[in-house]
Every structure is written in structure tokens, then in C-alpha cells.
Amino acid sequence: MGKGGLSVNDLVLAATIHRVKCCEDKIAQFEQLISTLTAQMAQNRTELASKGLANLVMGTTTPLDIPRELRPTFGRYRARGNRSHNTVQKRWGIWKAQYESGLTVKEIASAWGCHHSSIVNAKSKNFTARKSSGRGIK
């Protein structure tokens, strides 16, 4: 017999019951944490999809929807094509939105099929295209 008329088996049983109760409490805490993390992941997926970055995270090679008419092109004899003020202004506006959404310069350039220095140049001019001065026009 132990203290207060309890046997050793009764004390062991009480200690075991207490430990099981503590483990059950920990399991409940982990289940709550898992449900919180699952909800956060769902929110993150929704946010990525709204920014157009879901494909990037999921591993597709071209995560951005690039308007064909705004892609940098080359004209005849490798002369620059589609460089009108309106086209450049629209292109730079999209680049600015993509850059501000968290994409890197390299990712934007890769998706658009141009050299990264094109995006760096636009960024250095605060993504504001200037009107052509008419130089080089014959």
C-alpha cells in the first residue's frame, strides 16, 4: 500500500491516465495548428492565382499571359519592330505591374522573350516611356 491507502498499481494507473490526457491535449493542439496552416495555404493559393503567379509556383515554364501584339519583335533586317510610343507605354505598364507583384527582372524578361536589360532600362526610367523626338526618321 502507498500513501493514503492507494496501492502502487493505483498510482501507476493514475500517472498513466495523466500522461495519456497530456498526449491527447497535444494532439488536439496539433490538429488545430494543421487546420490553421491548411486555411493559410488555401488563402496563399488564392492570392497567387489572383496575381497570376500560381503557374510560376506550380512549375510551368511560362507563367505569364503575354499579349502577342506587345511582345518585343524585330522588323525586317533585324530592325526593331513594334516600338511605337503607345506599344512601349503599354508594355512598360505591364512590366511595372509584374515587377511590383513580386516577379524578378529575370523572370519577366524570360516570359517576354527579351533581354533582362530591357526591363532594367524601363525600371531605370520608372516605367515611363518618353515620346520619340523624331531622330533617325528619314
- Closest-CA residue to 70 (of 108, 43, 105): 108
CB under 8 Å to 63, separation ≥6 — which residues? 52, 53, 54, 55, 56, 107, 111
CB under 8 Å to 93, separation ≥6 — which residues? 127
Query: 70 in a domain, yes or no?
Result: yes
**How many domains does the chain divide into?**
2
Indicate if 37 and 73 belong to the same structural domain. no
Per-residue pLDDT of the chain (138 residues; tens, 9 = 90+): 555 677 888 899 999 999 999 999 999 999 999 999 999 988 887 777 666 655 555 544 445 677 777 777 766 665 566 777 888 888 888 888 888 888 888 888 888 888 889 899 999 998 888 876 666 554
Q: Look-up: residue for cell 519592330?
A: 81
Indicate if 39 and 8 belong to the same structural domain. yes
The separation between CA 5 and the C-alpha centre of its own chain, rounded to angstroms, equals 65
Query: 120 in a domain, yes or no?
Result: yes
Indicate if 41 and 93 belong to the same structural domain. no
Query: 7 in a domain, yes or no?
Result: yes
Helix (H) or strand (E) holding 98: helix 85-100
Q: Which domain holds residue 41?
A: 3-51
